[in-house]
Structure 1
Amino acid sequence: MKFRDQLWDRQDVQEYSIANSESVKPVSFSNRSQTAEAIQSWLVYNLAQRLKLEPQEIEIQKDFIDYGLNSIEAINLSGELENFLGCRLDPTLIWDYPNIETLVLYLAGESDISESASELCAANGSAAPKAEPGEIPPEYYRFDLYPEYRQLQQQLDAIASLGISNPYFTAHERVVNDTTLVGGRELINYSTYNYLGMSGDPAVSKAAKEAIDRYGTSVSASRVASGEKPLHQEMERAIADLVGSEDAIVYVGGHATNVTTISHLFGQNDLIVHDSLSHNSILQGCVLSGASVIAFPHNDWQTLDQMLCERRHCYRRVLIVIEGVYSMDGDIPDLPQFIEVKQRHKAFLMVDEAHSSGVLGKHGRGIGEYFGVNPDDVDLWMGTLSKSFASCGGYIAGCKAVVEYLKYTAPGFVYSVGLSPANAAAALAAIRLLEAEPERVARLRDRSKLFLELAQARELNTGMSKDSAVVPIIVGDSVQCIQLSEALFKRGINVQPMCFPAVPSGTARLRFFISCSHSSEQIRFTVDTVAEEFAKLCPEYTN
């Protein structure tokens, strides 16, 4: 079914809910059939599973944030809880009721729905401070006393106490490609996603400079108002042609592209089902949408199919969200299977191509070309311009109806300044250069394959990485991961550590972004050095 046939205005929600009251049942106390004991047991068990703890280690009055539960895990837990209870829940429920005790009271109908989470905490002796009338605790109005900030400081202090230099916010002193310059030292670089070497390419830089000379450094307005430039139209046409869709819209940021598009197109009485390893921007869009949100196991289209068999009839619109390449793991979903599931259940499908556009497929057209699918079978193609295309911003490509609707109504587009002339020109030049030099994609594929094969030959844990330019080396322990990054830096290799909560606890890793500019000699030296330094940190690793 075409998007234009399913497009609803938000004011239709109430009317639809009344007309479909038999099939769409938002959460209400009368619908809650589980006992408080059953709900508490379920929450204790599932939280323990997520945190790799024993159930007896879970304290029901301890705040979820104190367990280190991040936003992705919180939303996933809320979605699974919705399945368990068989009723609709707000995706922000974990934030509204900050510990198991208060959440159970709400879900079992044993507390008044008008009570706020802080009132419940105070009444039940949990961590929220109880203030006397007229007294406001300082952590309520001072950022330096925010519990979350203090927790961050403790983590940074712990790193410093081990004599490890902070690996974050390192200043790079020139164009970053296969090498970089830090503190006057040249290092082999794997921590930026200049996959095709477009950033710093003379043709791309020339186009950006010419755009500044003609249009200035900013378009100085929303494009709807007076910020539109011919460059924007040319760039969006080039993106649509690259993807194979009718039209495209470009936002000023990739993260904002997901947040504003998902939250604007979907809402109450809708369902969003996303991969459990989805990027933060997808999760934030889900939260702001107000839709029901459920995560399915990573790349598991069979479980997704079963979930929709059981629940599709309860919702108006359904959005399935996957990624072309998962940025922490470097693996690829089976797109044709997800398309088949989407079509059978009459759902929308969104594919985030941040790390696959320009990388996958013979000509770098992305995961659609990689699998040879019809681009029209995906409703929303999302991508970023900051990786393969040497610029900044994000895009949505799809049918004319959805693009036109977003251009006139999406808050992140309508109320934001348009993409700068330099960034628009750089992206357009990079796309044209990709079309003229597809050998860059072939070289990137060869270099990525070489890195992966050499790492696996040295029995380094590369996780699920396959056919992409992202290759993780999974270390496990966060401290060892940071130490390994520092050891490699001293030997002339720049690669960033990724630790909890960016990745699940116990799966800290070094994340290598491969570029077509890397030489085989650089890659061989890197893998050998990683193996040598890892053996010093982990005696059990002997390869």
Structure 2
Amino acid sequence: MRQGAAQFGVASPFFRLRAGSSAAHSHIAGRELINFSSYNYLGLAGHPEVSAAAKAAIDEYGTSVSASRIVSGERPFHQALERALADFYEVDDALALVSGHATNVSVIGQLLGPRDLILHDEYAHNSIVLGAKLSGAQRLPFPHNDWQSLTELLRTHRRQAERCLIAVEGIYSMDGDYPDLPRLLEIKKRFAAWLMVDEAHSLGVLGPSGGGIASHFSVDGREVDIWMGTLSKTLASCGGFVAGSQELIDQLRYLAPGFLYSVGLSPADGAAALQALKILQREPERVSRLQNGGQRLLEGFRELGIDPGPSQGFAIVPWIVGSSLRAVQLSEQLLQTGIDVQPILYPAVPERRARLRFFVSSEHSAQDIEGTLTQIAALL
């Protein structure tokens, strides 16, 4: 990457130092820019109530619980957060872990084994793929959002497997689209499979009030076997969680290595996530602002002849450029005009799908969106 940057005379877009919180505006080298490079979907990272909850938790419990929860790290805020998440998804229980990535790796690696089958969307997050590899199960990716291909794979391979897991995402972070959840529920029932939905980017984003993909499709949360999500995006904290039946959570609470052998979620992270979840439920207008901003950016891209891929305009809107070099160049040019947006390059995506990826926040004003479209139009 360094050699390529030097050869083509472009600055590296990675590890740029930003000051302040990850809000709708960012600060780089003393300049204020419109920020489309963070996951702060509802503007709760830095919200006064969230920060106050984190500070109060530190005052009461310290900066760390200093042990795995099964040993001596269990604290009241852990149980309060997990109860709130379980109620949010209308399931029996939930479990919070210290890393979103490790949540997928540990949950999938624990629940399945060599006699089992895992089918996942080809665009599934790296953590899902690594969890499948760790489990030792047969792993078969299927074409993106292609339920017909998934069905054919199940017809061919399901009978040879003891247990079967279908893993998808609520919103795909590279493309900003989502799966047909009702169709997947029908398929998983037909083939006696488990369905796992990773809601890292759909919690607080999809649904009229941010309830996620189940809310978007008016589906009972108990129909999905395994809900997974992160605390680091809408919930303005750090960590991951899994929610589902009591049997599932009991199994993971006592046996999942990523939970059992890791320190418990820190007081600041647990309290911040719990308060952010309360604000999400109390202020659905944040979700409306987010969705309106995403839809306007998507509409504007199409008006400018920009390829947004299959994005549905829910918070994530890519600009498909088709060249890693061109993506880096555009990112630098936009930075100079006051717009902070990151390029996504090969091998994270195929070279022909290299892109700029815009993350919209509820705190982006109409002027932020329109000004960005004006700057892009001038650049083009």
TM-score range, shorter chain: over 0.9
Aligned to 1:289: 135
Aligned AA (2:223): D
CA distance in 1, matches of 2:121, 2:87: 27
CA contact (8 A) 2:298 2:313 kept: no
Aligned AA (1:518): H
Aligned to 2:291: 445
Match of 2:227, SS state, is strand
TM-score (norm 2): 0.99
Match of 2:318, SS state, is strand
**TM superposition outliers: structure 1 runs of 4+ over 3 Å:** none
Displacement of 1:230 after TM fit? Answer: 0.2
- The question of 1:214 aligning with 2:60 is answered yes
User: What aligned pairs does 1:286-325 form with structure 2 within 5 A after superposition?
Assistant: 286-325=132-171
- The question of 1:425 aligning with 2:236 is answered no
Of 57, 61, 84, 1:238 maps to: 84
CA contact (8 A) 1:444 1:514 kept: yes
Aligned to 1:347: 193
CA distance in 1, matches of 2:313, 2:330: 25
User: What aligned pairs does 1:156-195 form with structure 2 within 5 A after superposition?
Assistant: 156-195=2-41
CA contact (8 A) 2:297 2:313 kept: no
Of 184, 197, 201, 2:43 maps to: 197
Displacement of 1:467 after TM fit? Answer: 4.2
Mark the runs of 5 or more structure 1 residues left unpaired by the alignment: 1-154, 536-543
Aligned AA (1:529): Q
Of 151, 159, 184, 1:338 maps to: 184
- The question of 1:509 aligning with 2:370 is answered no
Displacement of 1:307 after TM fit? Answer: 1.3
Aligned to 1:147: none
Aligned AA (1:301): W
Aligned AA (1:490): Q
Displacement of 1:161 after TM fit? Answer: 2.2
Match of 1:506, SS state, is helix
Of 357, 367, 372, 2:213 maps to: 367
User: What aligned pairs does 1:85-100 form with structure 2 within 5 A after superposition?
Assistant: none
Match of 1:476, SS state, is coil
Aligned to 1:224: 70
- The question of 1:495 aligning with 2:341 is answered yes
CA distance in 2, matches of 1:363, 1:400: 26
Aligned to 1:461: 307
Of 223, 239, 242, 1:377 maps to: 223
Q: Deviations over 1:33-73 (max 9, x none)?
A: xxxxxxxxxxxxxxxxxxxxxxxxxxxxxxxxxxxxxxxxx
- The question of 1:248 aligning with 2:117 is answered no
CA distance in 1, matches of 2:22, 2:226: 31
Tell me the matched-pair count: 380
Aligned to 1:274: 120
- The question of 1:521 aligning with 2:367 is answered yes
CA distance in 1, matches of 2:144, 2:378: 32
Aligned AA (2:201): H
Aligned to 1:263: 109
CA distance in 1, matches of 2:352, 2:146: 22
CA distance in 1, matches of 2:6, 2:48: 41
Higher-Rg member (1/2):
1
Displacement of 1:448 after TM fit? Answer: 0.7
CA contact (8 A) 2:68 2:264 kept: yes
Match of 1:272, SS state, is strand
Displacement of 1:504 after TM fit? Answer: 1.1
Mark the runs of 5 or more structure 2 residues left unpaired by the alignment: none
CA contact (8 A) 2:239 2:265 kept: yes
CA contact (8 A) 1:160 1:166 kept: no
Q: In proportion to residue count, which structure has more strand?
A: 2
Q: Deviations over 1:500-538 (max 9, x none)?
A: 0111121110000000000111111112222332x3xxx
Aligned to 2:202: 356
